[in-house]
Each structure stands twice: as C-alpha cells, then as structure tokens.
Amino acid sequence: MTEFKFDLKTTDGMARRGEVTTAHGVIQTPVFMPVGTAATVKAMTVDDVWATGAMIILANTYHLMLRPGPERVERLGGVRKMMGWNGPLLTDSGGFQVMSLGDLRDIDVDGVTFRSHLDGSKHRLTPERSTDIQRMLDATITMAFDECTPFPAEKDVAASSMRMSMRWAKRCREAFVHRPGYGQFGIVQGSIYPDLRAESVAALEALDFEGYAVGGLAVGEGQAAMFETLEVTTPLMRADKPRYLMGVGKPADIIGGIARGIDMFDCAMPTRSGRTGQAFTRRGSVNIKNARHADDPRPLDAECSCPACTTYSRAYLHHLFKAEEVLGLMLLSRHNITYYQDLTRGARDAIAEGQFDAYQQDFHDRYNSGDIEPI
C-alpha cells in the first residue's frame, strides 16, 4: 500500500525541493498544477496536459456537484477515470466559488446555502458534504471547506471568518475517509494579519492534516502584501508537510512564492490567458493579437518545446486568433502550461544545485526585459 507522504529533499534559503508520494503517482515540488475546473483543462486534451510535464491537476467541487453531479461521477469511477487522467488529482472544496456568489448564498455556522449560477436551484454545502463529495470525485488530495475571507477585511471580520474556517476544518478532518495514498489539506486563513495567520496555523496543525494550504491571498491585496503575509506564515508551518499557495498566479508570483517556502501552486491564468491570445514567454507576456505579429516569422519563444513554438510562427498564431480559429486557443493554452511547467522545473533544478537565488534573478532580468520587435 502506498502511503501519502512528503519527502523534503533539500532547501536553498527558504526555497524547498521535495517529493509528494500519493496513491496515483509521485509529484516533484515545487509544482504547478493546471486547473481542470469541470474535469477538463480547457482547450487541452489529457495527452496535451501530460506532454507539458504536468504531474497533478485540479478539479472543482462546486462546478462538478452542479454538473454532472457527484453521484454520477462516482458511478463513472471518479474524475480521473471519467476524464482519462492517470495522475494525482486535487479538488478544491467549493468554498471559494460559493463565497463568490454574493447575494445567491447564505452562510451560517453550519455551512452555506446557495443557488446555482446555472439554473437557480437551491443547494447546501457543509464541511461534511464537501468532504464527502470530494471522496465521490475520487480526489487524491481533498481540501478542507473554508470561507475565503474577502479583501479588504477589518481585523475583527477576518478573525471571525478565520475561526469559523478552523471549526469547519475540524469537522472536515473528522469526515475525511482515510485511504492509503490519499490526503487532506487544511487551509490557513487570517487575511493579512500575522497574529491571525499564526493562530490559524496552530489550529490546523493540531488536526494533523497531510498537507497545508495558504488561502485568502491573491484576492486583491497585491503582490507586496501577499509576499509579506507568506514571510510571516510559512516559517510557522511544518517543514515535513507540503505547502500549497492557492490560486497563484502570475510567473513572478510563483517564483516569489517558491522563494518564501511554497511547494504547490495552481491558477487558471495560463489557460484563460491562452484563450484570449496572451502568451507567457521567457521575455514576458505577449499579446499575439497585436498587429506587430502579423508578419513575424519568429517562434513565440525560441526556448520552448511546445508545438506552438517548434512548429508555427508568430504570424500564423496571429492569423489563427484573427480568424477566430479554435486551434489558436489550443496552441496558446498548451504553450502557457508548458511555460509554467518549465518555470517550476527550472526552480526544482536550481534548488537542488543550490542556485535558486541566481535562477530567480535570471528570471526577473529576462522576464522584465520585454519582447523584442522583429527586425
């Protein structure tokens, strides 16, 4: 039987090189996890996702409970079997999506009642129900159900929100069905207040989760405040468990998160940006729809191994978006996920070699240098 475990291989400053062993495969960290909200990474086949070097993907409890429904997914063998993904799967708890519904939801001490954004039907999520849905989805990693504290929030509001999430975390832990190679992560809350973050870490560690996430960031506080919060939070977190920064983010956010002791990241930005014509490259972001690319024979990123860069020119990619061809969305989505995988792979190698500071500096120098106009 495979035990869910985290092996910390080496450190370089606060940056960590590790390995997560799960029932569905081994994850090398730092790692970026592509988002497959509705059991698909948008505009990509499973083979495409594997080809980028991805080792774990996400699915969304809220969306899958509404459509096609957790009972149906369970009958089909879980998300992984249903979509043909053979690697580890992490599911978020649905808390962030439910909290984003505004007037369509009503929160109380026991859980949240909400109306579907699809058809207005009424639903209820509690810590126990969220945990059980994730079991039905066959999530390798289950996330605790929490309230994502909005930003900005006065300290008393953030404290009340965090403490309710900690009570819910205890209920999630009690509801979690332990299986070999499966894990559950608690989520640290507390907004930008260091003492609240410390209180949250202590409450979660008493529950002995298999891993711990930092939630409630990348919600409008800005990069500086996010980094400051990480700097006071990650040193308090256990070194022998994986650390996951939820919903982050831009390439510079990921590099900065790694530098502050984070192991796992996810964000819908690479595929969402790819579908709108924005590509991430080693020299910064590129809007392929701009007219300057119309006659450009160069690859999008000469150092990238994805099909968009090895087979096609910027001019062709520009044409695909102007012609509204689906292939353009597919190519840039795959390119962006490849870029993010290359970014974290490079960080893993640099940490192992004790060269992360140099890697981080080189990233910033190149990324901020800007894309070069064709001659």
Q: What is the pLDDT of residues 163-200, one digit of tens each?
A: 999 999 999 999 999 999 999 999 999 999 999 999 99
What does the alpha-carbon distance between residue 339 and residue 303 come to, in Å, rounded to a whole number? 10
Q: What is the pLDDT, as a whole number, of residue 374?
A: 52
Q: What is the pLDDT, as a whole number, of residue 101?
A: 73
> Cα dihedral angle (65, 69, 75, 80), rounded to 10 degrees?
-50
**For residue 295, what are the CA distances in angstroms to 235, 262, 289, 301, 326?**
50, 41, 12, 16, 21
What does the alpha-carbon distance between residue 46 and residue 301 come to, in Å, rounded to a whole number? 23
Q: What is the pLDDT, as a whole number, of residue 96?
A: 79
State the sign of the Cα–Cα–Cα–Cα dihedral 146, 147, 150, 154. Answer: negative
Q: What is the pLDDT, as a whole number, of residue 48?
A: 98
Among 183, 180, 201, residue whose Cα is nearest residue 142: 183
Catalytic residue numbers, as ranges: 92, 266
What does the alpha-carbon distance between residue 58 and residue 36 come to, in Å, rounded to a whole number? 5
Q: What is the pLDDT, as a whole number, of residue 292?
A: 96
What are the tens digits of pLDDT across the range 94-107?
887 877 777 778 88
Reduce the DSSP state of residue 92 to 3 states and report it: strand
Stretches where the chain sits below pLDDT 70 are 373-375
Q: What is the pLDDT, as a whole number, of residue 375?
A: 41
Question: How many C-beta atoms lie closer than 10 Å to residue 170's C-beta?
Answer: 16
What does the alpha-carbon distance between residue 66 and residue 74 come to, in Å, rounded to a whole number? 14
Among 151, 161, 58, 66, residue whose Cα is nearest residue 104: 66
Domains of the chain (ranges; CATH) run 5-267 (3.20.20.105), 277-367 (no CATH)
Question: How many C-beta atoms lie closer than 10 Å to residue 154's C-beta?
Answer: 10
Residue ranges of alpha helices (H) inside 137-263 are 155-175, 194-205, 223-233, 251-259
Helix axes 326-352, 314-322, angle to 10 degrees: 130
Amino acid letter for position 368: N
What are the tens digits of pLDDT across the range 55-68?
999 999 999 999 99
**What is the phi-psi region of residue 111: left when phi exceeds 0, alpha when psi lies from -120 to 50, beta otherwise?**
left
Residue written as token pair 């409970």? 65
